[in-house]
Amino acid sequence: MKSYFFDTVLLPGGWARNVQLSVTPAGEIAEVCADARRGDSTHIAGVALPGMPNLHSHAFQRALAGLAEFRAHPSDSFWSWRKLMYEFVGQITAEQLQAIAAQLYLEMLKAGYTSVAEFHYVHHDASGRPYADVATMSHAIVAAAQLTGIGLTHLPVLYMSSGFGEQTATEGQRRFTHADVHSFLELVQKLQQAYGSDPQVSIGVAPHSLRAVPAAALLEVTSAFSQMDTNAPIHIHIAEQVKEVEDCVAHTGLRPVEWLLNNLQLDRRWCLVHATHLTEAETVRLAGSEAIAGLCPTTEANLGDGLFPLAPFLDSSGRIGVGSDSNSSVSPIEELRWLEYGQRLISRRRNIAADGTTPHVGRNLWQRCCNGGAQALGKLTGSIESGYRADLVVLDPEHPILAGRLQDQLLDCFVFSGNSNPITDVITGGKRVIENGRHLHEQGIVNSFRAAIRAASL
């Protein structure tokens, strides 16, 4: 059994010194001993935190970061950005996708994400026909995760229509769409069979959105998937844009989150990604469902989506996690910072995400999003305790932004003191994948990414 020794660790009960972790061959923490002796354990100097789960990612979009920052339309919005995304996704190959995803996952690890939920909807070839192996593009994502060592919850996406009322999918969506639920579930079953024995890979499901999955199909796929796997996560885009809300009301008479709450049994398995535009009643009901609100502040800002009602949601005991979504930014601390700063701007107050139990905003947000992200990924991670995945990040306490800071103050400085990265080491599933700031396969991953970008003419 492998063991590690850390100088300082954030445990569920608080900060501890001289902590020894024993890790099973399957990557789980077998035992946590504070005030221990180092012995033969591998010593990693610094401050260890639970690794952050990233609950929402579209890996291929990392290749688009920065390319839509010019005015192409007098009223640029999410919808004009989506046109550029469709142009790129129409040409990407499985090999290029794997290279882009590997580079992205490398960046995630170095930034403090130790696992990721990949919301994957590029299924078919460039003409829109299924590959001979229908899971070809999913295999590329899993291969990238396995190369880098990041924990993966793979979420194949059901996409059937271009808008409410079962509108025919557009040419730009030809690589996404399934004609029926049956063919989609065949893909899910194939992935479960292929990766069911890998402790680092989990399979969930993601009906894309209410506009892209007709109501009958949504009810069918969630019911069938729940019978296939009673514990696996279900994610859905919801209420991201005002236009989406307006279209949903026009078609169903209900707002998107209201429709979900009225028609499906939302529970801990569900992650509602964005849920930006909520009424007060929806906010309270969503919090009471125990579903996760999957927040992606840097993407929501980049696309002009809006701001989630964080304070009333937390006041109602709502559960949150963060994701990098379009991957224009790959940094959990930037997601947390923007989550807090957005609320400060609209309320004109400070320290919104603090409470009586945890008055330090950095620690409160880190712990809440570790716990919520773990629930959204369907993984026992996000906490350093026996039985959980050994997923940790280690900070250098002598880094200039942390020097002289201790415990909760150190975590506040990590989140709010700028973009200089003090992470030295990262452990995922018990394996030390980042050591002294470097990944074993880093140069090869970077070279493959560069080649993929050049080949795609981006």
∠ CA 16-115-135, nearest 5°, is 160
Q: Which residues are tagged catalytic?
A: 274, 325
In Å, what is the CA distance from 228 to each residue of 188, 205, 224, 266? 10, 11, 6, 17
**pLDDT (0 to 100) of residue 76:** 66
**pLDDT (0 to 100) of residue 43:** 98
**pLDDT (0 to 100) of residue 87:** 77
Residues 156 and 305 in one domain: yes
Q: How crowded is the C-beta side of 131, counted as CA atoms within 13 Å? A: 18
Which residues, 6+ apart, have CB-to-CB distance to 413 below 8 Å?
362, 401, 402, 405
**pLDDT (0 to 100) of residue 91:** 86
Q: How far apart are CA 184 and CA 121, in angstroms?
A: 11
456 located within any domain: no
280 located within any domain: yes
Going by the DSSP 8-state scheme, the letter that residue 446 receives in this structure is: H
332 located within any domain: yes
Q: How far apart are CA 275 and CA 322, in angstroms?
A: 12
Residues 365 and 250 in one domain: yes
∠ CA 139-140-146, nearest 5°, is 85
Residues 243 and 226 in one domain: yes
* Bridge pairing between strands 431-435 and 438-439: antiparallel
Residues 425 and 312 in one domain: no
Helix (H) or strand (E) holding 101: helix 94-111
207 located within any domain: yes
Last residue of a domain, one of 340, 358, 377: 377
**Which residues in the chain come in under a pLDDT of 70?**
68-81, 457-458
Q: How crowded is the C-beta side of 116, counted as CA atoms within 13 Å? A: 33
Nearest CA to 240 among 285, 286, 208? 208
Q: For the segment 343-355, what is each residue's pLDDT rounded down to a tens digit?
A: 999 999 999 999 9
Q: How far apart are CA 14 and CA 12, in angstroms?
A: 6
**pLDDT (0 to 100) of residue 229:** 87
455 located within any domain: no
Residues 274 and 221 in one domain: yes
Query: What residue numbers bound the domain in which 222 lies?
Result: 50-377
**pLDDT (0 to 100) of residue 85:** 77
452 located within any domain: no
Helix (H) or strand (E) holding 370: helix 361-377
458 located within any domain: no
**pLDDT (0 to 100) of residue 32:** 98
Q: CATH number of the domain at 429, please.
A: 2.30.40.10
Residues 397 and 372 in one domain: no
Residues 395 and 407 in one domain: yes
Residues 38 and 116 in one domain: no
Tally the domains of the chain: 2
**pLDDT (0 to 100) of residue 133:** 97
